[in-house]
Amino acid sequence: MEEKLIKEAMSAREHAYTPYSHFKVGAALLGKSGRIYRGCNIENAGYTPSNCAERTAFFNAVSEGELEFEAIAIVAGPEGGELVFTAPCGVCRQVMMEFCDYETFRIIIGTAPDAYREFTLKEILPYGFGPKNLE
Ligand code: THU
């Protein structure tokens, strides 16, 4: 499944809209239903309205009714260059915290379909704050 998700993320990256950073990111999010939701980064002349690939994938999925997730693959790199190992930003980690199991959700960071590192949400967001804190 890792290879398939990374390939999907690579396809998603082709749609990245990055006239300002020229740094292109693609994501592929696996829902518990088995469906895969793609996302790319979408920048804006106002800068702050820009959206990361990971959040695009989550919002795409949630807007289609999927609320539970297994894993996300992320690929990133400068336009026209090689893919580089790129971990999700803090805001995207917080969005993962809202919808994903802290101990089991997998974040797959790839530079090729057969070259990746895998982390749990707990590993990349220690002492996270999420919905359970408000119960
Ligand atoms: N970006 C992502 O889409 N995901 C990440 O994990 C890191 C950063 C985007 C935001 C912006 O469009 C560009 O990469 C440069 O920061």
DSSP the chain: -HHHHHHHHHHHHTT-B-TTT-EEEEEEEEETTS-EEEEE-B--TTSTT-B-HHHHHHHHHHHTT---EEEEEEEEEETTS-----PPPHHHHHHHHHHS-TTT-EEEEEEETTEEEEEEHHHHSTT---GGGG-
Q: What distance in angstroms lies between residue 40's CA and the mean position of ligand 1's atoms?
A: 9
pLDDT in tens, 18-61: 999 999 999 999 999 999 999 999 999 999 999 999 999 999 99
Q: What distance in angstroms lies between residue 135's CA and the mean position of ligand 1's atoms?
A: 32
Question: What single-letter amino acid sits at 76?
Answer: A
* Residue closest by Cα to atom 2 of ligand 1: 52
Q: Is the CB of 40 under 6 A from ligand 1?
A: no
Question: What single-letter amino acid sits at 53?
Answer: A
pLDDT in tens, 65-84: 999 999 999 999 999 999 99
Q: What is the pTM of this model?
A: 0.97
- CB distance 41 to 57 below 8 Å: no
